Amino acid sequence: MAEVFVSGIIASARGFGDNRLSIRYQLSVGGGWRIVQGEGEGQTQTDCPSVFENAYFGHPIDLHLATSSIQGWPRLLIQIWHHDNYGRQEIAGYGTLLLPTSPGKHVLTSGCWRPKGNWREEMMHKLVGGGLQLTSLSALEDPTIREKIISVSAGTVRFELNIITKNFSRYGILS
């Protein structure tokens, strides 16, 4: 089988209005893929800096994947959570990151968004917190669902990933 090794970090997030953030992530793969080693989902710590406008994580990602088909190439589905002074959590954004298809070191940025409500919901979001959330992460994977959601830009998440591919040429896959 062709194999992909992913090693790196979720480095930082910026542009979410407040930097008290954590990130939950989940690996999404097609039918021919399987996780050989590593965790397909996880969560960073909450960064609560007092000075910086970025939230820094340095959270490790270490995966070994195998595939019989390149269809359904792996992607990370990410949720950015904000933590307020009262210990409450609210969604600050959603995003996806398609894992690189070429071997080597990659510094990648995922643009994030959040669902936009009507004027009343947006006012409540600004004054009280909370806001609209997705009921399922399938909207991150399916463009036909995603195109129906009215959204606003939320910020960006930075990743530093190292990719190693193995046996791709044996299976006729060019990398």
DSSP 6-60: EEEEEEEEE-SSS--EEEEEEEE--TTEEEEES-SEEEPPPB--SS-SSEEEEEE
Contact 67, 141 (CB under 8 A): no
Residue 141 CA to residue 160 CA, distance in Å, equals 22
For position 175, what pLDDT does the model report? 55
Q: Which residues contact 78 (CB under 8 A, 6 or more apart)?
A: 23, 24, 25, 94, 95, 96, 97, 110, 112, 157
Task: Give the model's pLDDT for residue 136.
Answer: 78
What's the confidence (pLDDT) of residue 64? 97
- The span from the CA of 105 to the CA of 117, in Å, is 39
Q: What is the pLDDT of residue 174?
A: 61
pLDDT per residue as tens, the chain (175 positions) = 889 999 999 999 999 877 889 999 999 998 889 999 999 999 999 988 777 788 999 999 999 999 888 888 999 999 999 987 777 888 899 999 999 989 999 999 999 998 887 878 777 767 666 677 777 788 788 888 888 887 888 999 999 999 999 988 776 666 5
The pTM of the whole model exceeds 0.85: yes
Domains and CATH numbers, the chain: 2-111+154-171 (2.60.40.150)
Gyration radius of the chain's alpha carbons: 17
The pLDDT value recorded for residue 129 is 67
Task: Note the residue count of the chain.
Answer: 175
